[in-house]
Amino acid sequence: MADADIVFKSGTELASLIKTRQLSSVDVVRAYLARIDALNPKLNAFITITSEEAIARARQADKEIAAGRYRGPLHGLPYAPKDILATKGLRTTNGSKVTSDWVPAYESTITSRLNTAGAILIGKLNLLEFAMGSGVLSGFGPARNPWDLEHSPGGSSSGSGVALAACLTPLAVGTDTGGSIRVPAALCGIVGLKQTYGRVSRYGVTTLSWTLDHAGPMTKTVADAAMMLQAIAGPDPRDATAAHVPVPDYSKALTGDITGLRVGVPTSYFFDGNAEEVKAVRTAVDKLRGMGAAIVPVDVPHANLAGSAGWIIAMAEGACFHEKRLKDTPELFDPLVRERLEAAKFYPATDYIKSMRVRTILMDEMAQVFRKCDVMAVPGGGPAARLDTPDRARSDIKPGSSAPPFRGGNTFLGDMTGLPALTIPCGFTAGPPVLPLSIQFYGKPFDEATLFRVSHAYESATDWHKRRPPLAAGSTRTTAAAAQSMR
């Protein structure tokens, strides 16, 4: 099988071929490593590439499978985590010069569980510094959106979104404090799941905000996300926030049937964004109605406060976590990270407490929403904007800016309430350049299965997830003709 035929397949497709020995794990790993070698210099998705170790592990996987010791669907599949997850004996940079040489003596629970399941780490992915940098002046430079190199891939799990969209890995891991899994998923046209707070252990994940941080799957398809969550979910004695809640068989949710499923659509706030994305999301909702779902109006009265209140919590907790580093080596930080952390030292405790009160209100309002519906559908938060120039990336204060006001509620709502949310592609801009558009589904606590059900059904009835950036043709700028063909 040609390398292109391998790397363009989903993780579940590759898993089936590896299991039946129609493909070797070595062939799969080599195909991805070759694509990384060809495209990463343009895209800067990977900080570290573990070629020799990955091939050695792939050979071992092939031997185990041939001997009848198949571990499950992840066995022999490559994956790459955001470089904020500790990997024992392998540099973990956090995307920062501050920790550029850190080699952990321990393994994160997520990577440990993936490794135990037989998945093969092929490298560590770029990110906004400490999950909150500029994406331009972060420690290892910006990852670039494969749909157009001059546009942002979103953050902070930027490398994860880029690597999946460009088919540099079939599976990736991201983290999400205010939208850092779902925003890159939206801007890069892939699948991103922020599961329920506590569903997945954060042991070994560098902290940004103790009460908001999540870590979870980023994939090409919904089935891949379900497969990954199956392996990494569950309690962990090393993380007190990891919940002792049973983990269901997520594959059973992938039925394609959403007859009678109640989809809530907010009547205010969420649909005030980009006109092309709003149109695409409403079209997607109409598609769900045609597939048998019941569309019901809902309201989250204080959703507009989720972003600003969440930001106060995240930065206050981040300033506490980074206090010593900020004192010892302030000059090594991305200027934007340093500005945000230094400013957060002056947040009044009363503002933090008020933000936590907003959090309680939002949790109650979402509980009211889910008395009326099974999932809530909102825009994902795109399309991608152009990358900042280095001078503008240094600060949040941008005189003369014409950028739209910060509207973090679409994603911060999930981190503030702890509710699961999943983002999938639902269209493209007219272009040029052609850029992905997305829909995001919110679900009830620990009900990721219903998110998989609705998103998999929509994905199966559309082909947005099958579109690829024109990288194979040697260009990252979509032509007008290509744009027309993708409408």
Q: Does 131 score more than 70 pLDDT?
A: yes
Cα dihedral 288, 281, 199, 371, rounded to 10, equals -60
Are the C-beta atoms of residues 35 and 9 closer than 8 Å to each other?
no
Is 279 contained in some domain?
Answer: no
pTM of the model: 0.95
Give the residue-averaged pLDDT of 84-113.
Answer: 98
Is 48 contained in some domain?
Answer: yes
Is 372 contained in some domain?
Answer: no
Q: Does 10 score more than 70 pLDDT?
A: yes
pLDDT in tens, 140-157: 999 999 999 999 999 999
Give the residue-averaged pLDDT of 167-196.
Answer: 98
Radius of gyration of the chain (CA): 21
Q: What is the pLDDT of residue 476?
A: 39
Is 171 contained in some domain?
Answer: yes
Q: Does 399 score more than 50 pLDDT?
A: yes
Angle between helices 51-66 and 11-19 (to 10 degrees): 50
Q: What is the pLDDT of residue 427?
A: 98
Q: Does 475 score more than 60 pLDDT?
A: no
Please state the domain count of the chain.
1
Alpha-carbon gap, residue 56 to 294, rounded angstroms: 51
Q: What is the pLDDT of residue 1?
A: 83
Structure tokens at 468: 């690829």
What is the average pLDDT value for the chain, to the nearest integer? 95
pLDDT in tens, 322-359: 999 999 999 999 999 999 999 999 999 999 999 999 99
Quick check: helix, strand or coil at residue 471?
helix
Is 322 contained in some domain?
Answer: no
Q: What is the pLDDT of residue 310?
A: 98
Q: Which of 187, 179, 189, 213 is nearest to 84 (CA)?
A: 213
Q: Does 216 score more than 90 pLDDT?
A: yes
Query: Is 330 exposed, middle or buried, given 0-12, 13-18 or 19+ CB atoms closer than 10 A?
Result: middle
Q: What is the pLDDT of residue 408?
A: 87
Is 373 contained in some domain?
Answer: no
Angle between helices 306-321 and 409-417 (to 10 degrees): 60
Q: Which residue out of 10, 25, 156, 160 is catalytically annotated?
A: 156
Q: Does 416 score more than 60 pLDDT?
A: yes
Any catalytic annotation for residue 156?
A: yes
Quick check: helix, strand or coil at residue 440?
strand
Task: Please state the φ and ψ torsions of residue 295, each to the nearest 5 degrees.
Answer: -95, 125
Model confidence band, residue 404 (pLDDT cutoffs 50, 70, 90): low
Question: Residue 117 belongs to what domain range?
Answer: 3-260+379-395+407-485
Model confidence band, residue 133 (pLDDT cutoffs 50, 70, 90): very high
Any catalytic annotation for residue 16?
A: no
More confident residue, 486 or 47: 47
Q: Does 124 score more than 80 pLDDT?
A: yes
Is 323 contained in some domain?
Answer: no
- Strand pairing category for 262-266 and 294-298: parallel
Residues 6+ apart with CB under 8 A from 461: 256, 287, 291
Q: Does 451 score more than 50 pLDDT?
A: yes
Residue environment code for 190-224, b if the CB has 16+ CB neighbours within 10 A, otherwise e? bbbbbbbbbbbbbbbbbbbbeebbbbbbbbbbbbb
Q: What is the pLDDT of residue 388?
A: 94
Q: Which residue out of 180, 201, 438, 455 is catalytically annotated?
A: 180
Q: Does 8 score more than 50 pLDDT?
A: yes
Any catalytic annotation for residue 180?
A: yes
Report percent pLDDT > 90 for the chain: 92
Structure tokens at 146: 């494969």
Measured between alpha carbons, how far apart are the two ends of the chain, in Å? 31
Where do the DSSP E strands lie in 73-133? 78-81, 120-121, 123-125
CATH of the domain at 426: 3.90.1300.10
Report percent pLDDT > 70 for the chain: 96
Is 361 contained in some domain?
Answer: no
pLDDT in tens, 265-305: 999 999 998 999 999 999 999 999 999 999 999 999 999 99
Task: Return the number of other C-beta atoms located less than 10 Å from residue 333's C-beta.
Answer: 25
Q: What is the pLDDT of residue 471?
A: 78
Structure tokens at 192: 């991103």
Q: What is the pLDDT of residue 2?
A: 87
Residues 6+ apart with CB under 8 A from 483: 428, 430, 431, 432, 433, 434
Give the residue-averaged pLDDT of 75-87.
Answer: 98
Q: What is the pLDDT of residue 273?
A: 85
Alpha carbon distances (Å) from 95 to 32, 50, 143: 22, 17, 11
